[in-house]
């Protein structure tokens, strides 16, 4: 499998998804529209890692703007029968210590789940989004792929923290805790029955096994029912498509990237460049997003989704008063096989129920051993410790 869109160094220990900028290195975010685009600066997370001695190995393939399941619709990578994420596979094969990714739609979490590695989507506002090829600013977050929770925590502690270049980056007085080795005895975790029932047997087995190990470690595991995950999927579908429609509108063929060869006037320049530049899935996202923002639909769609976002966040917070984490699948199946891009929009929506809540509310979510822990704001440490216990037991 060809992992890199651009290889930088054989000695590199950190791979970077092509949705994050590395200074002077080609960045296309998997899209034709950014053909030949070379950024003038690096993402803050990249800069922080380099400043403490890490070396960037290269830019890993992503699906166009990170909007697909696991990276299957990059315009630059080869097509395969079973779908895997490039950065997750690199980590799995031990070719890099860790990788950075952008989670807007759950793709890195699904990829980690399938490859059996860890990915942590950080609490919104803990890692600077400076240098992220942005799609949905209100929910996208920089995260870390690594082989286990301890390694995730190590990288997170280097990249998290206030950055004045990102107005949404939190300037908290307390220190973030990413240590993965604290005792978990006495903690409580809940499984959401609705999500459990929607998975294939392989995933169910992973959840069952995780629950068993946690119980052995003195964790109480409850099963509860909640509809906020499907509400979250619908609300996030509206918000992320709208924001993506808006954020991708800067790719117009005027300034950089692809410009169509044929055009007679400025309107044709726009239309032809964007027609050639975006793939079918991205176009579907743009059209859907444009529709929910339109005058006639705004109140019923976008505005309502914002309200749902508040309600879901409140209800999730209520659950997390009792439980250290919600234990859920990150995707419906242990494996994805290739499919037609015409089905991509509904395929991705089908999986959103497992991941969207963390993007919608900004809560942290950690995928490990094929399961997902969703926790309270800034409590990544709790999630890492739970995951670490399962990882150790599995050895």
State yes or no: residue 243 binds another protein (CB under 8 A): yes
Among 14, 69, 112, 132, binds another protein (CB under 8 A): 132
Among 59, 129, 147, 158, binds another protein (CB under 8 A): 129
State yes or no: residue 302 binds another protein (CB under 8 A): yes
State yes or no: residue 171 binds another protein (CB under 8 A): no
The Cα-based distances of 13 to 16, 95, 100, 197 in angstroms read 10, 8, 11, 39
Among 9, 168, 193, 275, binds another protein (CB under 8 A): 168
Instruction: Tell me which stretch binds another protein (CB under 8 A): 164-172, 198-206, 225-233, 342-350.
Output: 164-172
State yes or no: residue 286 binds another protein (CB under 8 A): no
State yes or no: residue 37 binds another protein (CB under 8 A): yes
Sole residue written with tokens 């792929």: 145
- Rounded CA separation 138/361 (Å): 9
State yes or no: residue 133 binds another protein (CB under 8 A): yes
Instruction: Tell me which stretch binds another protein (CB under 8 A): 153-161, 250-258, 340-348, 382-390.
Output: 250-258
Shortest distance, position 104 Cβ to another protein, whole Å = 12
- Rounded CA separation 203/201 (Å): 5
State yes or no: residue 18 binds another protein (CB under 8 A): no
- Rounded CA separation 289/193 (Å): 31
Shortest distance, position 196 Cβ to another protein, whole Å = 32
Instruction: Tell me which stretch binds another protein (CB under 8 A): 21-29, 78-86, 109-117, 332-340.
Output: 21-29
Instruction: Tell me which stretch binds another protein (CB under 8 A): 134-142, 308-316, 326-334, 348-356.
Output: 134-142
How many Cβ atoms from other residues are within 10 Å of residue 92's Cβ? 18
State yes or no: residue 224 binds another protein (CB under 8 A): no
Sole residue written with tokens 């869109």: 5
Among 9, 24, 165, 317, binds another protein (CB under 8 A): 165
Token output for 371: 């399961």
Q: Which helix (H) or strand (E) holds 50?
A: helix 44-51
Rg (CA), the chain: 20
Among 6, 35, 138, 209, binds another protein (CB under 8 A): 138
Shortest distance, position 134 Cβ to another protein, whole Å = 7
Nearer to another protein, 241 or 328 (CB): 241
Among 5, 8, 21, 312, binds another protein (CB under 8 A): 21
State yes or no: residue 167 binds another protein (CB under 8 A): yes
State yes or no: residue 307 binds another protein (CB under 8 A): no
In what side-by-side order are the strands of the sheet with 4-7?
Answer: 4-7, 56-60, 14-17, 98-103, 141-146, 118-121, 365-368, 371-375, 325-328, 188-192, 220-224
Among 256, 263, 280, 349, binds another protein (CB under 8 A): 256
- Rounded CA separation 380/233 (Å): 22
- Rounded CA separation 114/124 (Å): 24
Query: Site map for another protein, 38-77, x if CB under 8 A?
Result: -xxx-x----------------------------------
> What torsion do the CA atoms of 66, 178, 45, 151 make, to the nearest 10 degrees?
-70
Classify each residue of 317-343 as buried b or exposed e, where b means 16 or more C-beta atoms within 10 Å of its C-beta: eebbeebbbbbbbbbbbbebeeeebee
The Cα-based distances of 369 to 109, 153, 202, 213, 221 in angstroms read 11, 16, 12, 12, 17
Shortest distance, position 145 Cβ to another protein, whole Å = 20
State yes or no: residue 312 binds another protein (CB under 8 A): no
Beta strands in the chain (DSSP E): 4-7, 14-17, 56-60, 98-103, 118-121, 141-146, 188-192, 220-224, 325-328, 365-368, 371-375
- Rounded CA separation 12/305 (Å): 42
- Rounded CA separation 282/287 (Å): 9
Shortest distance, position 66 Cβ to another protein, whole Å = 12
Query: Site map for another protein, 320-359, x if CB under 8 A?
Result: ----------------------------------------
Binding site for another protein (CB under 8 A): 21, 27, 29, 34, 37, 39-41, 43, 129-134, 136-138, 164-168, 242-243, 246, 249-250, 252, 254-256, 266, 270, 290, 293-295, 298, 302, 306
């Amino acid at each position: 499998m060809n992992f890199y869109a651009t290889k930088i160094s054989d000695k590199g220990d950190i791979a970077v998804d092509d949705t994050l900028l590395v200074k002077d290195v080609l960045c296309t975010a998997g899209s034709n529209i950014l053909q030949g685009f070379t950024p003038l600066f690096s993402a803050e997370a990249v800069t922080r890692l380099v400043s403490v001695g890490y070396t960037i190995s290269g830019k890993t393939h992503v699906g166009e703007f990170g909007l697909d399941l696991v990276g299957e619709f990059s315009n630059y990578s080869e097509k395969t029968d079973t779908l895997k994420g490039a950065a997750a596979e690199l980590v799995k094969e031990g070719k890099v210590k860790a990788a950075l990714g952008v989670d807007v739609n759950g793709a890195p979490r699904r990829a980690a789940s399938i490859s059996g590695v860890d990915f942590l989507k950080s609490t919104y506002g803990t890692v600077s989004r400076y240098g992220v090829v942005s799609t949905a600013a209100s929910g996208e977050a920089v995260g870390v792929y690594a082989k286990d929770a301890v390694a995730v925590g190590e990288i997170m502690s280097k990249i998290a923290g206030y950055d004045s270049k990102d107005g949404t980056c939190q300037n908290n007085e307390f220190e973030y805790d990413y240590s993965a080795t604290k005792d978990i005895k006495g903690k409580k975790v809940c499984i959401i029955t609705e999500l459990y029932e929607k998975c294939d047997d392989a995933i169910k087995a992973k959840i069952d096994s995780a629950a068993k190990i946690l119980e052995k470690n003195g964790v109480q595991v409850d099963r509860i029912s909640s509809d906020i995950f499907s509400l979250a999927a619908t609300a996030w579908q509206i918000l992320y498509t709208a924001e993506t429609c808006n954020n991708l509108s800067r790719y117009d063929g005027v300034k950089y990237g692809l410009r169509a060869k044929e055009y007679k006037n400025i309107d044709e320049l726009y239309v032809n460049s964007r027609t050639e530049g975006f793939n079918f899935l991205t176009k579907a996202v743009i059209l859907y997003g444009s529709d929910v923002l339109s005058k006639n639909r705004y109140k019923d769609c976008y505005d309502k989704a914002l309200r749902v976002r508040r309600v879901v966040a409140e209800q999730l917070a209520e659950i997390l008063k009792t439980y250290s984490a919600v234990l859920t699948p990150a995707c419906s199946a242990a494996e994805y096989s290739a499919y037609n891009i015409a089905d991509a929009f509904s395929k991705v929506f089908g999986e959103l129920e497992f991941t969207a809540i963390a993007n919608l509310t900004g809560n942290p979510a950690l995928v490990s051993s094929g399961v997902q822990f969703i926790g309270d704001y800034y409590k990544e440490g709790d999630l890492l410790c739970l995951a670490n216990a399962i990882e150790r037991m599995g050895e």
